[in-house]
Structure 1
Amino acid sequence: MDSVQHPPALEIRGLTKRFGDHVAVDGISLVIPTGSCFGLVGPNGAGKTTTLSMATGLLRPDAGQALIGGVDVWAQPLEAKQLVGVLADGAKLFDRLTGEQLITYTGLLAGLDRETVARRCADLLNLLDLAGAGRTLVVDYSAGMTKKIALACALVHAPRVLVLDEPFESVDPVSAANIRDILQSFVRGGGTVIVSSHSMDLVERMCDRVAVIAAGRVLAAGTVEEVRGSATLEERFVELVGGRSVTEGPAWLSQS
């Protein structure tokens, strides 16, 4: 029997975005296979967040197309957004709700019934070690707890694709390890994870595929092994992006 052919989890075709005279994203194209853990890496200002925002329906592109599971994000936004869970870096949450209320609100907004939302909310709070903070206002959460409650909101409607922009920033090492386990389980279950991160080591250990972008363009993309070659991913990244200079500091910094 022939295996079922799935469309890519996310396909980006020539996405372009300008802010005034600045070209933030310059015709980026990527194909992210279903069932992969995909890392998107680049220096600050590379266009990672802008690309992911356009690909998930948060920011309208000037040109190009994005398809989630074969569904055009901008032609069929409601259908596309049912397939994706998004953790946007720096996005404002309704932080005058408790963690439990925020997950519940997000689930109801996604069209789930109250019984399903209540069950999933309890599961997610336990899974992310937030059960004791479920009735605490999100405004009183630490940065790491806020990141975890945002991840819970991204997961509550059981999406096929998770798009996570800097999901480990401000998260302690134990919580980060737990989140990695959750994401790896999600991928083993047939889901797809797309992670934007500055941590080359984390991406190298966690992802099976990666794209390096700078100045709004893709410099390299493929499996982690293909992109890094005989070097580490960090070494390959520095080689591709450039900009590193090795100099001694000023004399006044020397303690000798």
Structure 2
Amino acid sequence: MSQAESEAAFLARYDPADYARPAVAVDLVLLGLSGGRPTLLLLKRDRHPHAGRHALPGGFVGIDEALDDAAARVLREKAGGARAHLEQLYTFGAVERDPRMRIITVAYLALLTEAAFAEARARAPALIPGAVAASPAAEGSVTVHAADGAALPLAFDHAEIVALAIRRLRGKLDYSEVGFALLPELFTLRQLQDVHEAILGTGLNKPAFRRRMLDRGWLDPTGRFETGTSYRPAELYRLRQTSSQTPSQTSWQTPAQGD
């Protein structure tokens, strides 16, 4: 390259075809809680490769499309635009991960409240729930089961993606507010503990858990109580809003008008 050559001249003669370009996709780990267990929403593949297996909802990234925009589009198109907390998880780029061609995928956590989980199933009937069974061990593998207990084999490297998603959630529960993405705006301490136990795959000491949560200063008591219970109603809490929280449209995706 000549030192005298301008950047404009360099770009004018640059040919992208000089380099092979892999395709880029996004895959969503659509995860909520059902029956006290982490549960995915999956799609059954009706074409090769891996026809008959279940897969995470995903799609290719357009040439002029940002990654977060692609993830939001897949959420609209394949999950009916259900409201979800979207968080980039990891990039998976093993050379042989897809037999069609070189495809790199950027996986996203898409966490759903109970209401959003039901909304996604109603809006996108093709979505199939799969309960995640994960060992409490930090590096344990995961299996996914249908409602009748039958194993759901996952396509591509999606079992690896799901395993990493569970590990990431477990690792972040104790220092971040990510677990609240699985809860409604108002919740009881019992519901908060249920979320932690479901993700961690183990029971927790009730008094110690509640004391730890309250001592962190994350919770605001509302003075309101749950209704419609056959036992003594519990107080409702909400996540305290702090100056460090910066919600953005890319974090909380809602259906656009007309979707």
Query: Do they fold alike, i.e. is TM over 0.5?
Result: no
Higher share in helix: 1
Greater relative contact order (Cα < 8 A, sep 6+): 1
What TM-score does the superposition give when structure 1 sets the normalisation length?
0.31
Structure number with bigger Rg:
2
